[in-house]
Structure 1
Amino acid sequence: MKTTKTILFLIAIGLLSCNSDKTASYESKVPLTKEFLVHQWMLDSLYGSKEFVQDIVYFTPNDKFGRLSHYSESQLIDSSLTFKDNKVFDNGQLKYSIFSLDSNSIILVTTDNKVFHCSRWNEYEQEDIERFIKTNPTKKLLNGNWVLDSSDIIPTRMPSFCNDLYPGTKFAFNPNGTFDIYPKDSTNKCNGYSYRIWENEISVTEYDMIMTLGIVKLSKDKLILKSSYVSNNNGWSEKMMKARQEGYNLYLTRQ
């Protein structure tokens, strides 16, 4: 039995062995025409890994390839690469080989045989790509820890479990697209979210609830956010009602 398992294991390794161009042996089930590829694809998994992956891959009509992500330090993982037939090149160097699994899914195989699975997602739209490119400097600058210095309204809050936040609170915008809040003098976060950058806003998600924080100012060391989330302990005066409707500023310094 042990010998049989060993033989089967060696056969499996042989099936995935590298050929002369150092790419694992696969074949496409559907012809990789430009019409087939020019699309936006959702890169949703790396074979053999439990790593969370949710990137956007696109092929353009003028033979460009890109890989975008809300969940990395830079939203532009691969930018302005080129493709021809079933190959993607970075300045002339092979980056990925492309194979179709069926009419709605492809795999990208790196030169060191990492295999990414992609599902057909949206039609190719240049505006979608440009939105990532335009907001990428904001994402890269926002990454990191910020400390609340002051707020137009004290205490401030963020739904659902960060109800009373005072100066000294830490806002952690993590490169992987998560956003954690640590109340003043606490090493335990009161809540964690995911976030994305849209124009001059931060779209914050808690389960199925989407909230927004406006970016009033962002520099290397200073951040001003506009929030409309007011602690229930602030009451329901005219001032607080106006803050809920029109928003108020939070002033933060990079830690």
Structure 2
Amino acid sequence: MRAEVHEVGKGIYLVHGQHTNWVILKDGDAVTLVDTGYPGDRPGLLGSLAEVGSSPEAVAAVLITHAHNDHLGSAEYLRDTHGTQIYLHEAEVPHARRDFLQQVSVGAVLKNAWRPGVVPWLVHVLRVGGTEQHPVTAPEAFPVTDGPLDLQPDWAWGRCERGDALRVNGRDEEALADYDRALELDPGYASAYASRGVCLANLNRHEEALTDLDRALALNPEYPWALEQRAAVLRRCLPTRPT
């Protein structure tokens, strides 16, 4: 069954699978997944990655909200086949390994079979592998942090994502250091130039902001967000700077 993909923000895709959802976070070629659906959702999961122009090889990390089968379904497949890092809250790590299992039993569901919709739902769950067990061999706990999650501190995309998280929370000075590092690691990273430009504009460093946004557009002339932000910066600093 084909999953339904909806872009709900810049590089953020909400995907509706079979009675469950997952999220694709995309920046350039890099991807993070939030949850993976049921085991039987794998064709839809892989198809959704292709639909946003990506692939399972590009998934750097999977963030699992909790280790029920409708969220964990393809996590071990991605880890085993593509070496993807699987992260959960520390309390859910043993659950993902299936050191224990918190899951409603078929018998408990059947006791509610008289309720409308329960039997069709149960049939569907059985068909998509809802009672199968696919433990994750080496799940990892989210890093302990009082700020944005830093999955891969010396990866350009990870640095840029961390900078974005700081920037949207008003921590522009701190965000600049992450954008600077992202561009050291990848001098051709258009998104990092654009994000740093917005950060500089927030600090009223308009000339530097325009320089970065111009660099982003030189790398990607059809970058809508960079075009929008450049126009916004120009509106702020007019009439002191000609267009």
Q: TM-score range by the shorter chain?
A: under 0.3
Q: Which has the higher helix share?
A: 2
After TM superposition, the score normalised by the length of structure 2 is 0.25
After TM superposition, the score normalised by the length of structure 1 is 0.24
Highest Rg: 1 or 2?
1
